[in-house]
């Protein structure tokens, strides 16, 4: 009986770890691609349309696969799901894409990978997740690698307007996502479906952002979107759909602190995609930093989750 239990835990651990790594790969591609898209659009419009589209996708998925009904929500679930939508599905995206428009995709990618710092603290306090010394060492390796990549000199580009303000907004958005991830894991511990969480995050988050568009009087921008911009939104929506699906799927199997640590792989992937797609230079210090991140990710992938 004990062997069967251990085997089941191992399968959940492998599945959750694999999904988290896939999430990191998608994230590594998403940031440089979205940088191109958001430069030509108002971040508020870009975020609202993208969030609403992916929310509708998850609503259709839930309706057909689980016969989803709003009547099934308990009062406590609404509390968690609204917080997830407001914090992670609207405010965080709005701050991030505004920051991404002001700074470089590389800087935004690296700053976004400070997520485990905030998640480790929040998960240990509010979820009682056990943070091991091995995990802390792995986090140190990955952050050291990230710093090396970040410190590598890059030729300035005209695509960033105010890097300092952009960096601040990206970091603030990252902290908001850490809060949202912790709340999402809490909701799943209480029995909520990970696809319901994904739906709430994006659909209700999109509605909140649309409310901001109405308040700020930017509705005219919705009717002036070009066909090329609309295509960009659909591409970004598809990428985000994959990201959200794999992310919430992964933290339904493993600790959110472990899953977020594995997301530190994405700056390396961003470097690869940046070189392949845009011929961006990759200095030696970036290659060394990438090695540290991969080593740390390997160590953290071997750690067993408390709730697996």
Beta carbons within 8 Å of 56's beta carbon, 6+ residues apart? 203
Tell me if 254 sits within 8 A of 262, measured CB to CB. Answer: no
Calculate mean pLDDT across residues 138-145.
Answer: 83
Between 76 and 25, the higher pLDDT residue = 25
Residue 96 has pLDDT above 90, yes or no: yes
The pLDDT of residue 308: 45
The pLDDT of residue 22: 93
The pLDDT of residue 155: 63
The pLDDT of residue 68: 59
Tell me if 246 sits within 8 A of 17, measured CB to CB. Answer: no
Alpha-carbon dihedral sign for residues 103, 108, 110, 115 = positive
To which H or E segment does residue 142 belong? helix 133-151
The pLDDT of residue 95: 94
pLDDT per position as a tens digit, 161-216: 787 788 889 889 999 999 998 998 888 777 766 777 877 888 889 889 989 899 88
List the single range of 53-57, 99-103, 149-153, 263-267 with lowest mean pLDDT: 149-153
The pLDDT mean for the chain works out to 81
65 C-beta neighbours (distance < 10 Å), count: 10
Residue 305 confidence class, pLDDT cut points 50, 70, 90:
low
From CA 30, how far away is CA 173, in angstroms rounded?
16
Q: Give the range with max mean pLDDT: 62-71, 93-102, 152-161, 284-293.
A: 93-102
Calculate mean pLDDT across residues 257-270.
Answer: 82
Q: Number of H helices and number of E strands within the chain?
A: 15, 0
Between 176 and 136, the higher pLDDT residue = 176
The pLDDT of residue 75: 47
Beta carbons within 8 Å of 177's beta carbon, 6+ residues apart? 88, 92, 115
Residue 307 has pLDDT above 60, yes or no: no
From CA 16, how far away is CA 174, in angstroms rounded?
22
From CA 121, how far away is CA 176, in angstroms rounded?
13
Q: How far is CA 120 from CA 125, 136, 175, 176, in A?
A: 9, 9, 11, 14
The pLDDT of residue 306: 56
Between 280 and 87, the higher pLDDT residue = 87
pLDDT per position as a tens digit, 52-85: 888 888 778 777 765 655 555 554 467 888 899 9
From CA 188, how far away is CA 186, in angstroms rounded?
5
Between 173 and 51, the higher pLDDT residue = 173
The CA-based angle 139-144-149, given to 5 degrees, is 125
Closest CA to 14 of 274, 285, 254: 254
Residue 296 has pLDDT above 50, yes or no: yes
The CA-based angle 283-284-290, given to 5 degrees, is 95
């Amino acid at each position: 009986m004990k062997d069967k239990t251990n085997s089941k835990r191992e399968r959940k651990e492998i599945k959750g770890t694999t999904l988290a790594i896939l999430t990191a790969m998608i994230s590594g591609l998403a940031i440089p691609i979205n940088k191109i898209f958001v430069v030509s659009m108002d971040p508020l419009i870009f975020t609202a349309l993208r969030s609403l589209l992916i929310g509708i996708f998850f609503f259709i998925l839930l309706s057909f696969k689980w016969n989803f009904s709003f009547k099934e929500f308990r009062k406590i679930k609404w509390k968690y799901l609204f917080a997830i939508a407001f914090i992670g599905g609207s405010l965080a995206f709005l701050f991030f894409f505004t920051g991404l428009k002001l700074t470089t995709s590389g800087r935004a990618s690296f700053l976004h990978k400070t997520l485990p710092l905030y998640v480790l603290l929040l998960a240990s306090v509010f979820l009682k997740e056990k943070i091991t010394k091995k995990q802390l060492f792995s986090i140190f390796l990955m952050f050291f690698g990230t710093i090396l990549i970040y410190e590598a000199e890059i030729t300035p580009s005209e695509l960033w307007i105010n890097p300092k303000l952009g960096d601040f907004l990206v970091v603030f958005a990252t902290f908001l996502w850490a809060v949202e991830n912790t709340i999402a894991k809490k909701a799943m511990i209480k029995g909520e479906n990970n696809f319901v969480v994904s739906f709430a995050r994006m659909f209700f988050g999109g509605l909140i952002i649309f409310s901001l568009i109405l308040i700020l009087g930017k509705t005219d921008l919705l009717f002036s979107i070009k066909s090329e911009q609309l295509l960009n939104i659909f591409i970004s929506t598809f990428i985000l759909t994959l990201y959200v699906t794999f992310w919430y799927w992964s933290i339904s199997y493993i600790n959110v602190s472990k899953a977020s640590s594995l997301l530190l792989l994405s700056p390396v992937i961003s470097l690869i995609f940046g070189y392949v797609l845009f011929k961006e230079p990759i200095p030696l210090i970036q290659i060394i930093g990438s090695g540290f991140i991969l080593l740390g990710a390997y160590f953290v992938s071997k750690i067993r989750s408390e709730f697996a």
